[in-house]
Structure 1
């Protein structure tokens, strides 16, 4: 899953509210401040709900500063509804020429439909490379415009990713959370007053700063009902990521497009399964 490693590093399992402290002469229980005890409890419950989800809707946005990725920086986004059987539907935006819709059924073939805007960008790039490249790419654009490109599972050997591969595997995503371990926050997470983030009423869970400054990295859990994790934000080394989660347990409706709207990538040539279909 896109950004799953960062998710695992931010969302780790939590400990209890009381901590035994041993001193010479005996042991007593140190109680955490109320906001930290509440923060640990909510984070633990939210993690349990997330780990047990059979399906989930995830929207991830990642932005890098211009200092690393050229003027204006780089923005990527993927929005998917996925389950533990590797069914998923959604959209992806990995930059110019790499935007479109995605369908995957039970971890098999993926169906990708590029937006008209992406195809136009690819056309312009090809034209800049000369008549021969432009003619080859123009022919392929004509074949796939408005249609789904069927790509076999596991493909993506070219430099331009044909599909967001492992992003459709909820088991893999949640497995990375399990790998984060159960070391706990050791009292270093704090529940803030309820507020609104990304259109939802939530309780922010943050790592408190000594100077009282607002923390940019936060976990957000639902303020009403069960404390489902609805989002988290992370900023590090000039990169910012927001991951929003919803529709816990809602079945994924993933169906193959009609044959008339599908073209098999293997029929187009240009490497394995047409992997370099639009390489310019």
Structure 2
């Protein structure tokens, strides 16, 4: 099945970003996620996926090829990991442009802007307070929420925490990286409609018994429309859309930006 390890690891790092935990990799199986449909129907003769003749592995291989060739996509979905639900609405491209939001349960939301020149994050008040709590200074979080309200945090490109949050933007690589797991058994499901797109489902079963369902578009390019896991302790579902749609990310106005160094100083003295 598709690998979502990088997406999941980055999501976990958002949860831990306020602390000092390193997120080079957690070693756990990737939480299975979802995907959405082609941005628009093909204008030329519509290619149809022959689900009768193709095996499940062959269908999955075609979907891998289509998704790997994408230049941009949008992700909408959620993953539950370590008991926390992480909700993502992000658009990213291979050029490094990315924008959207990531919310962590009841602990706040972070808006992310990222391009070739920098990363800007705008936590809401709840997330600022979480940062203060993780830094063993709850008052600092409340003070930061008020001081930096409506502003983006930038700089700190060498800071591990900022890198972890920016890592959420590597969607295409995270979704398509790696080949199929030989230990995962893929079986054919059935035809249906997902997000208004005609799809065919594939079910992957891991050695531990957890099952992931992938929904592949059967008309036009065989994009992964949705991927979800409903069994196990880490359920997730993600939908992908806006395939190859150009993404433009501009730096916020200077008066809406706070430098990372100033943020660190204020957090210490608040």
TM-score range, shorter chain: 0.5 to 0.7
* 1:220 equivalent among 201, 210, 215: 215
**Residues 111 and 148, structure 1, Cα contact 8 Å, conserved in 2:** yes
SS in structure 2 at match of 1:193: strand
**Comparing 246-255 with 229-238, which one deviates more in the overlay?**
229-238
Give the corresponding residue for 2:262: 267
Matches within 5 A, 1:101-112: 101-106=111-116, 108-112=117-121
Residue 114 of structure 1 and its aligned partner are, at CA, apart by: 1.7
Per the alignment, do residues 184 and 54 of structure 1 end up closer, same or farther by CA in structure 2, a change over 3 Å counting? farther
Structure number with greater Rg is 1
Q: CA deviation at 1:45?
A: 1.4
Aligned residues: 226
When the two structures are superposed, what TM-score results if normalisation uses the length of structure 2?
Answer: 0.67
Q: How many Å separate the matches in 2 of 1:232 and 1:201?
A: 15
Pairing partner for 2:237 from 242, 253, 264? 242
**Which digits, 9 at most, give the CA deviation of each residue in 1:31-68, with x for residues without a partner?**
xxx7573433322211101111111212341125xxxx
CA RMSD of aligned residues (A): 3.9
Distance in 2 between residues matched to 1:220 and 1:251, nearest whole Å: 24
Q: 2:228 maps to which residue?
A: 233
The answer on 1:52 being equivalent to 2:69 is yes
Match of 2:58?
41
Q: d(CA) in 2 for partners of 1:133 and 1:219? A: 42
- For residue 239 of structure 1, give the secondary structure of its aligned residue in structure 2: coil
Q: Is the 8 A contact 1:36 1:189 kept in 2?
A: no
Confirm or deny that 1:179 pairs with 2:196.
no
Deviation at 1:143, TM superposition (A): 2.1
5+ long unaligned stretches in structure 2: 1-5, 10-28, 35-50
Given candidates 199, 203, 210, the residue that maps to 1:202 is 199
1:165 maps onto 2:170 in alignment: no
The structure-2 alpha-carbon separation of the partners of 1:40 and 1:112, relative to structure 1 and needing over 3 Å to count, comes to same
Deviations 1:121-171 (A, max 9, x none): 549969xx8xx852x4443222210111114324234xxx78523222356
Deviations 1:215-274 (A, max 9, x none): 95111111322211112113554111222221221111211111121111212334xxx8
Structure-1-length-normalised TM-score: 0.65
The answer to whether the aligner puts 1:6 opposite 2:36 as a matched pair is: no
